[in-house]
Amino acid sequence: MTYRLQDTTNPVHAGLAMMSCLSLSGGGVRGLFTARILTAFEEAANAPAAERFDLIGGTSIGGIIAIGLAAGIPAAAIHAAIADNAPSIFKKRFHRFGLFTALYPKPPLRKAIRAILGDHADRRLSELPVPVLVTAVDHTNGSSHLFRSLGLAEKDADDVTLMDAALATSAAPTLFPPHRIGDRVYVDGGLAANAPDLIAVSEAMARLGAIPEKVHVLSIGTAGKAVEGKPVWFGGRIPWIMRHRIVELTLAAQEHASTLQASRILGTRYLRVDKAPQRPIRLDEVERLADLDKLAAEALETVTKDKRWHETANRRARRLVEAEAASA
């Protein structure tokens, strides 16, 4: 099933200043939490998420979900696809040591992305009218890269398939191999922006004409928590499992810094939805899918009492109706 998205007017063309951005964090299998929160959001809004936000941004699994939403895939279908495919994506196998040695092969991830996107997997970002961005790191030169859709960047949109963008943003070191597109090689965007909250704000300002004081952000996490435990050294070398832990720690630290800054800059215009478990859930811990759904239910119990949740579900629709009435 795919939503038939309405052809809503770009806010900058309508002369509208108020904007709503959706920002989705990375987190491996913990993206199930994100998808469950979004399912509840679409139910509250009685509409696809893509019709309630002016811009959707995501990193890693958050990037995959962002692409799915922009393609009109219901959040409930994305949730089901993640739950169904996670065990095959993160199937344990023997591995070699090395910081950039992948623990999991790419084909199961590719299959899961296709399960989420369906035929949309072969569409190109340069043809996608919904403003969406996903983050990645260019392993070729160490710079960050934003994959942008037609709806966000127009002629500057990335002419890559949704599948390629999804594989690039989710190529987490130690988990999956880097992803090559043409002569460039990409790894997980979480190394630069695991929570792309302020990137979304910056892009809304630079490309959609947003006024900083009138940008609202709904940021959804992945039930993450800083990695616990002390490193164990063996002969001056870091065992593979500790290198994996370093990657998780990097993602967690980056996300914490980003969300803290976004909260301070945006104030009440920033709503973060997350729920830290008592015991951290690893990026590949498929044994705890039920815990993720439980944490999402607990987070929803809290956030649905916040008026900003309901305002976000209706803000863009109300604004577009008002703009249409004003122009009549």
Question: How does pLDDT run across 273-310, given as a tens digit for each residue?
Answer: 999 999 999 999 999 999 999 999 999 999 999 999 99
Known catalytic residues are 60, 188
d(C-alpha 251, C-alpha 267), whole Å: 23
Reported as a pLDDT band with limits 50, 70 and 90, residue 321 is: low
How many helical (H) and strand (E) elements, i.e. helices and strands, does the chain have? 12, 8
d(C-alpha 72, C-alpha 43), whole Å: 15
* pLDDT per position as a tens digit, 59-112: 999 999 999 999 999 999 999 999 999 999 998 765 544 444 578 999 999 999
How crowded is residue 149: how many other Cβ atoms within 10 Å of its Cβ? 29
CB neighbour class for 116 (10 Å; exposed up to 12, middle 13-18, buried from 19) = buried
* pLDDT per position as a tens digit, 193-227: 999 999 999 999 999 999 999 999 999 999 997 55
Q: What is the pLDDT of residue 165?
A: 99
Reported as a pLDDT band with limits 50, 70 and 90, residue 327 is: low
Structural domains present in the chain: 19-327 (3.40.1090.10)
CB neighbour class for 238 (10 Å; exposed up to 12, middle 13-18, buried from 19) = middle
Residue 238 token pair: 């870091």
The CB-based long-range contact list for 256-265 (8 Å cut-off, 24+ gap) reads 256/226, 258/193, 258/194, 258/195, 258/196, 258/197, 258/198, 259/195, 259/197, 259/219, 259/221, 261/198, 262/195, 262/197, 262/198, 262/201, 262/217, 262/219, 265/198, 265/201
Is 0.85 topped by the overall pTM?
yes
Residue 104 token pair: 């999991």
Residue 137's nearest CA partner among 220, 226, 60, 70 is 60
* Tokens 């890269």 belong to residue: 145
Residue 94 token pair: 């023997």
**Residue burial 252-272, b: 16+ Cβ < 10 Å; e: rest:** bebbeebbeebbeebeebbbb
**Amino acid occupying residue 283:** L
314 or 95, higher pLDDT: 314
Residue 112 token pair: 């899961």
Mean pLDDT estimate for the chain? 88
